């Protein structure tokens, strides 16, 4: 099992911003200046780090294991056999695999995706296409062990998806823990990976195929190579006609903290530098500190040496509550934009092990396994759709490319239609919020009523009135209107449901907001009913009490929306 970045980075101080910064521009080596790259497939683009390293028994992958989903790959993931920090939203995947976790909070089975399934990677690259992610840096660890055949197959799938969805990709070697790296990385490129440069989707910069090398110069036992060995590898790839990017330590320039001293010439030999930031910052204040102490002087150094600069932007470790509903990530985008940075590297697209993923993630506890201890995107009380960090990346990329004005105010709403940097308009206060229920039948659980999908729905147990459906708004709010819907399909014949509305500030003591009333749902008019209470109800919890339904002997709702006005 390869050593992951989080394994060795956890031993380094997260407070590296406090390292005394020496070796400024006055101490640079006399490397001859060369022209930096013009816009291409990585310069002026948003690149995402793509692991693509998840597998499950039964998916057909040669490794036939819970690859990177659990500590013991031979056993199904569970609370006691877990390595991930966030639970993915797997609703878009055609095929998922049953774990040993309890069901999700909404009653659905706790299943996970496999990167070996082509449809999984196709979905990921579709998300990239939809959200302004230009290029994927496919991570490649030591491929000569048992993981190699699975990695090779996934590389071919990534190539196919990139071609289909108009994205670019390139191979990024992560050399962590690779014992015979110096010779084997060259053989792997020559014998296997270089063939992928024939693809129209393979990233090129300044006319050259891009290759990334992550890990030279880090000050830990997993990266022991001398400057001479590192320089040999970089220069070999350049001799093969490649444009070489370097994933380097945060403090590469002064050669302190996470960087070994004496590697500055190696760093300056790369065509592009991308200093690592995961584990280094966790708040907006940290990001501002790094803007002053790292980003600006790093950018100046790269410009002085004709090197392209691609700093990291990360959403934050969800398990450490760093995200601040997107404000942490946006502050980084803003700092990059005001510094004049052209290119960024998103750390990462699908790294659920570090909790820094932007890919679709559980929105609330209804989408997280019960008893898992994992947090959802609403951990700080702000509802966020599962694609929020993809949409945030899209807007950040637009700002860097000059398509949005440079602004410190986050423009991206946590939920679609929910307003930008903190909320405006009249958003649906129940969208993606935690829900509860008296019961449900089959797979028609309560979360279906607040997922924004008109086709999915909640249905209570049959022939067992009264039944109830409840939403937690997250805090005590004053609301005045509820909109209920059923699927718009004409097959849902007209029906009248008798419903009362109750409210509570503590989730235990409820009072009546609207008495039991019959509401008509007719597909000819949108299958929608509005429950109004103009004087307002001040409550955190709103409960719908169903006592009759002329169309089916159960409570039913595909949409449960709550509004302040």
* Residue 35, pLDDT score: 54
Euclidean distance between CA atoms 323 and 356, whole angstroms: 9
Lowest mean pLDDT among 267-271, 292-296, 422-426, 465-469: 422-426
Per the CB < 8 A criterion, the answer to whether 102 and 108 are in contact is no
| Angle made by CA atoms 345, 351, 354, in degrees to the nearest 5 | 105
pLDDT at 32: 34
Please answer whether residues 500 and 517 qualify as being in contact, where contact means their C-beta atoms are separated by less than 8 angstroms.
Answer: yes
Give the span between the Cα atoms of 119 and 59, in whole angstroms. 12
Confidence of residue 452 (pLDDT cuts 50, 70, 90): confident
Q: Is 469 helix (H, G, I), strand (E, B) or coil?
A: strand
Asked whether the beta carbons of 558 and 485 are under 8 A apart, the reply is: yes
Q: CATH classification of 44-400 is 3.30.365.10, yes or no?
A: no
Short-list 257, 281, 335, 218, CA closest to 21? 257
Q: What's the mean pLDDT when you consider all of the chain?
A: 91
Q: What is the pLDDT of residue 67?
A: 97
- The position carrying tokens 């694609």 is 387
Task: Report whether 42 contacts 342 (CB < 8 A).
Answer: no
3-state helix, strand and coil shares in percent for the chain, rounded to the nearest 5: 25, 25, 50
Q: Is the pLDDT of residue 3 over 50?
A: no
Chain position carrying tokens 């790269």: 302
Residue 466 C-beta-side C-alpha neighbours within 13 Å: 12
pLDDT at residue 415 in the model = 82
Region 539-545: mean pLDDT is 95
Q: What is the pLDDT of residues 13-50, one digit of tens each?
A: 333 333 333 333 222 233 333 556 688 999 999 999 99
Can you give the pLDDT at residue 92?
A: 87
| 435-563 under CATH 2.60.120.260, yes or no | yes
Query: pTM (2 decimals)?
Result: 0.73
pLDDT for the residue 455: 86
Distances (CA, A) of 360 to 376, 429, 550: 11, 21, 38
The band of 454, judged by pLDDT with boundaries at 50, 70 and 90, is: confident
Distance CA 380, CA 366 (A): 15
Does residue 560 have a pLDDT over 60?
yes
Q: Give yes or no for residue 422 having a pLDDT over 50.
A: no
**pLDDT value, residue 11:** 40
C-alpha span between 547 and 500 (Å, rounded): 8
Q: Would you state the pLDDT for residue 451? A: 87
Strand partners, 375: none
Q: Which residues have C-beta within 8 Å of that of residue 212, sequence separation ≥ 6?
A: 137, 170, 171, 172, 173, 244, 245, 246, 247, 274
| Complete DSSP assignment for 21-89 | ----GGG---PPP-PPPPSSSSTTSEEEEE------TTS--TT-S-TTTSSSTTS--BTTB---SS-B-
- Any idea where the domains of the chain sit in the sequence? 44-400, 435-563
Is the predicted pLDDT of residue 416 greater than 70, yes or no? no
pLDDT at 552: 96
Q: Distance from CA of residue 376 to its chain's centroid?
A: 12
Strands 208-214 and 528-549: unpaired
- 326-362 pLDDT, tens digit each: 999 999 999 999 999 999 999 999 999 999 999 999 9
* Greater model confidence, 196 or 13: 196
Please give the average per-residue pLDDT across 185-205, as a whole number.
98
CA distances from 118 to 49, 192, 202, 209, 356 (A): 18, 20, 18, 24, 23
What is the DSSP secondary structure assignment for residue 281, as one 8-state letter? -
pLDDT, residue 516, reads 95
| CA dist., res. 483 & res. 48, Å (int) | 39
Q: What's the CA gap between 378 and 362, in Å, rounded?
A: 9
Taking 50 as the threshold, does the pLDDT of residue 424 lie above it? no
Long-range contacts of 475-479 (CB under 8 A, 24+ apart): 475/381, 475/540, 476/505, 476/538, 476/539, 476/540, 477/429, 477/538, 477/539, 477/540, 477/564, 478/536, 478/537, 478/538, 478/564, 479/429, 479/536, 479/537, 479/539, 479/542, 479/562, 479/563, 479/564
* Mean local confidence (pLDDT), 458-475: 94
């Amino acid at each position: 099992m390869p050593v992951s970045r989080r394994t060795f980075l956890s031993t380094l101080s997260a407070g590296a911003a406090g390292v005394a910064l020496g070796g400024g521009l006055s101490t640079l080596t006399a490397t001859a200046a060369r022209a930096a790259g013009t816009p291409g497939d990585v310069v002026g683009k948003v690149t995402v780090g793509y692991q693509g390293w998840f597998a499950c028994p039964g998916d057909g992958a040669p490794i036939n294991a819970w690859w990177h989903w659990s500590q013991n790959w031979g056993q199904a993931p569970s609370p006691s056999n877990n390595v991930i920090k966030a639970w993915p939203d797997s609703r878009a995947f055609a095929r998922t695999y049953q774990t040993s976790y309890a069901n999700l909070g909404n009653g659905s089975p706790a299943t996970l995706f496999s990167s070996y399934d082509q449809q999984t990677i196709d979905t990921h690259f579709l998300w990239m296409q939809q959200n302004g992610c230009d290029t994927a840096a496919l991570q490649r660890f030591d491929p000569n062990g048992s993981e190699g055949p699975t990695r090779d197959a996934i590389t071919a799938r990534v190539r196919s998806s990139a071609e289909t969805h108009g994205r670019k990709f390139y191979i990024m070697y992560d050399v962590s823990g690779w014992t015979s790296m110096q010779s084997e990385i060259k053989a792997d490129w020559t014998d296997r990976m270089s063939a992928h440069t024939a693809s129209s989707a393979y990233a090129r910069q300044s006319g050259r195929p891009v290759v990334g090398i992550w890990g030279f110069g880090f000050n830990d036992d997993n990266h022991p190579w001398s400057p001479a060995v590192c320089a040999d590898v970089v220069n070999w790839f350049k001799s093969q006609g490649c444009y070489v990017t370097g994933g380097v330590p945060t403090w590469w320039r002064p050669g302190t903290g996470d960087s070994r001293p004496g590697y500055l010439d190696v760093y300056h030999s790369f065509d592009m530098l991308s200093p690592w930031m995961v584990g280094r910052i966790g708040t907006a204040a940290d990001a501002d500190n790094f803007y002053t102490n790292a980003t600006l002087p790093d950018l100046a150094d790269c410009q002085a040496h004709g090197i392209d600069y691609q700093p990291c932007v990360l959403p934050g470790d969800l398990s450490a509550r760093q995200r601040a509903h997107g404000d942490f990530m946006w502050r980084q985008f803003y700092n990059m934009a005001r510094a004049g940075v052209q290119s960024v590297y998103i750390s990462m697209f699908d790294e659920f092990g570090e909790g820094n993923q932007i890919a679709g993630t559980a929105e609330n506890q209804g989408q997280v396994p019960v008893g898992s201890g994992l947090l959802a995107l609403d951990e700080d009380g702000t509802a966020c759709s599962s694609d929020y960090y993809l949409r945030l990346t899209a807007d950040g990329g637009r700002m860097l490319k000059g398509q949005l004005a440079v602004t410190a105010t986050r423009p991206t709403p946590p939920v679609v239609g929910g307003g930008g940097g903190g909320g405006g308009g009249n958003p649906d206060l129940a969208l993606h919020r935690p829900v509860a229920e008296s019961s449900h039948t089959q797979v028609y659980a309560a979360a279906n009523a607040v997922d924004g999908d008109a086709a999915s729905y909640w249905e209570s147990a049959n022939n067992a009135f009264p039944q109830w459906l409840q939403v937690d708004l997250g805090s005590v709010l004053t609301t005045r209107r509820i909109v209920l819907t059923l699927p718009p399909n004409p097959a849902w014949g007209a029906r009248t449901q008798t419903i009362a509305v109750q409210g509570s500030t503590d989730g235990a003591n409820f009072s009546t907001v609207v008495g039991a009333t019959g509401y008509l749902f007719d597909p000819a008019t949108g299958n929608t009913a509005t429950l109004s209470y103009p004087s307002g109800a001040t409550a955190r919890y709103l409960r719908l009490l169903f006592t009759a339904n002329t169309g089916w002997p159960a409570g039913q709702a595909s949409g449960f929306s709550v509004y302040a006005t």
